[in-house]
Structure 1
Amino acid sequence: MNISTASIVLGLLVAYYNLKPPVVIIQLTNQLANLAAPLDMFYIGVLIMSLYRKKVHDPSQKIWIPIAVKLIILPACVALMMNYVNLILEIIQTVLIQSMMPTLTLASILIAKYSADEDMGAFTTVLSTIFALITIPLMVYLIF
C-alpha cells in the first residue's frame, strides 16, 4: 500500500458515489497535474546528464526488450484484440494509437523511487520516445 494506490482508491470511491469536491481541491489538483509532466521531464533530463558521464553501453542491459514490447508487441496485441470488439471506428483508432505511445515519463521516477535501476529507466524513456517517432507512423501504416 502506497500513496498512489490510496489516491486511486479514493478517486474511484469519489467517482462511484458521485461526490463533488470543493473548488479549491479541484483547482489544486489541476495545478499539480499540470506540474507533473514538466517535473518528470526535468528529472529525466538530470538522469540523462548523469548517464552521459557514465558508461551507457553496458552489454548486460537488455534495453531493447522493454522498448520492443511497448512499441511493437503491445500495439500488435491491441490491434488483434480490437478485431473482436464492436466499437465505433474512432474509439478503436484512439485505443490503437494510445497503445503505440512511448514509455511514460513517470516510469523513470517510479523506477528510482522503488530502488530499481533508474539509469535504465531514464534511458528506456528517452530511447522509446525517439524510436516512437519511427514506430508510430509505421504501425499506423501497417494497422490502418
Structure 2
Amino acid sequence: MSDAGYHLIKLDLDSTTIGRADPEGEHERRVAIADLLEANYFAPLDAQPGPYILRLAVEDQRLVFDVSYQDGHPVHTFVFALGPLRRIIKDYFLICESYYEAVRDASLSQIEAIDMGRRGVHNEGSSLLKERLEGKITVDFETARRLFTLICALSRRSLNT
C-alpha cells in the first residue's frame, strides 16, 4: 500500500480540544506525529491522490478528521462517534499510568509485562480504528497505530470532563 500521493504531509491537532498532557503524553504525541508523517498510507475514499493535510479534533464527543489537499482545498470532513473507541482509550490510559509508575520502581520483568499489555491494548484500539475508517479512509496498520496514539491524546481532555 504505497501508492504515490496517498499520504499525509502535515497533521494539525485542534488546539481547543487537545488540552495539556503530562510530559510523557506530550512526548508520545510529538513522536507519533513525526513517525506518522515520516511513513504513512492515507487514502480518503473517492479522492484524487494527495498528498494530504489532516486536522484532528474532538468536537461534541465526536472524532473529526478534516482532510484537505496540500494546497488547502478541502477533500472531505469525516466525523466518527467516539463511543466505540472510548473503552479502549480508557483502558489504554489506565495501563499507560501503570507503565509510567512501574518504570519508576518496578522490576524489569514487571515493566516488560505491563508494556506487553500496553502494546496489546494499543493494537486492539488501532485495529478498531482501522475498521471504523473502512469505507471512508483506507490506512495501513502502522498508520492506524499512530493515529490511535494521537486520538488518545485528543481524547484525554474530553474523557476527563
Higher-strand-fraction structure: 2
- Structure with the largest fraction of helix: 1
Q: TM-score, normalised by structure 1?
A: 0.31
- The structure whose Rg is larger is 1
Provide TM-score, normalisation by structure 2: 0.29
Instruction: Return the structure number with greater relative CO, CA threshold 8 A, min gap 6.
Output: 2
